[in-house]
Amino acid sequence: ECTLFLSKLSAGETTFKHAKLNADIEFEDVTNVMALNSATNKIQLMTRFLTSSKYKYTADRITKYYATIVSYIDPATLEVTTRKQVPGEKVNAFAQAHIDKDYNYTGLPKRMILNKDNTTAVLMEEQAFGAAAISELGGDGAELNGYVFNKKQLGDIMPFTSYNYVGTSKGHFMFYNDMAENLDKEVTFNCWLLLIRMK
C-alpha cells in the first residue's frame, strides 16, 4: 500500500515543496505516468492501481483487477482539482462491434500521451501479447473515442514489437509493425505495415 506525494522546486527556491495528494483511494501495486498539459496548465497524473485479485485453485493462478484514474493537479498549489476514472466504455464498444460481440477488453494502460488539440491518448495492452487499445479523452477527462486492434505477436516465434501513437493537427495515427521480415531491418517508416487514422 502507498500514499502519493507530489513535490516541486520553484524557480529561485532551494527546497522542495511537498504535498500529499488528496486522494480517497487506498492505493496498492501502483504505476504512475505524469505530464504537464501546457494548454490547461494542469499536471495530469495517470494512476493505475490494484482493486482486487482472485485465486483460482483449479488453475493455480491469480487474476488481478486494476482501475485507472487521471488526476488533474494545479501546479501552483499541488492540489487535485479533478479526478476521472478511465472508463474504457468506448474501447469495449469498438471491440464488440469490430472483433466479437461478447469481447470485454482487459488491457492495462501503459502510456499517456497529450495531444496539441487538448485531448489525451491512453495506450493500453493486454498481457501475453494480447490486443492493443487506445482511449482518447477530452480536456475534462471524458472518453471521446476508443479503438482496439488484434496483434499477431507470438513470443516463441516472433520477438515482441509494440505500437506507437502520434497526434498531429491533421489527425491521430497509430503505427504498428506486424511483418516478421521487418524485424531484422533498421526501423524506418518503411517498416510499418499498419497505419490507422483515428481522427
d(CA 178, CA 72): 36
pLDDT of residue 182: 59
The string of pLDDT tens digits covering residues 16-50 is: 999 988 766 777 888 899 999 988 899 999 999 88
Which amino acid would we find at residue 152?
K
Sequence-separated contacts (24+) of 19-23 with Cβ below 8 Å: 19/77, 19/78, 19/79, 21/45, 21/71, 21/73, 21/78, 21/80, 22/79, 22/80, 23/71, 23/80, 23/83
Q: Output the CA torsion sign for 174, 88, 97, 127.
A: positive
The string of pLDDT tens digits covering residues 48-106 is: 988 888 877 666 777 788 889 999 999 999 999 999 998 889 999 999 998 888 888 88
- Mapped onto helix, strand or coil, the DSSP state of residue 189 is helix
The string of pLDDT tens digits covering residues 144-179 is: 999 998 776 555 554 455 678 888 888 888 877 666
Report phi then psi at 180, rounded to 5: -60, -35
The string of pLDDT tens digits covering residues 177-187 is: 666 665 555 55
The string of pLDDT tens digits covering residues 103-153 is: 888 888 989 999 988 899 999 988 776 788 999 999 888 999 999 987 765
Stated pTM of the model: 0.80
Q: Where are the beta strands (DSSP E) in 96-181?
A: 108-114, 120-125, 132-137, 143-149, 163-168, 171-176
pLDDT of residue 33: 92
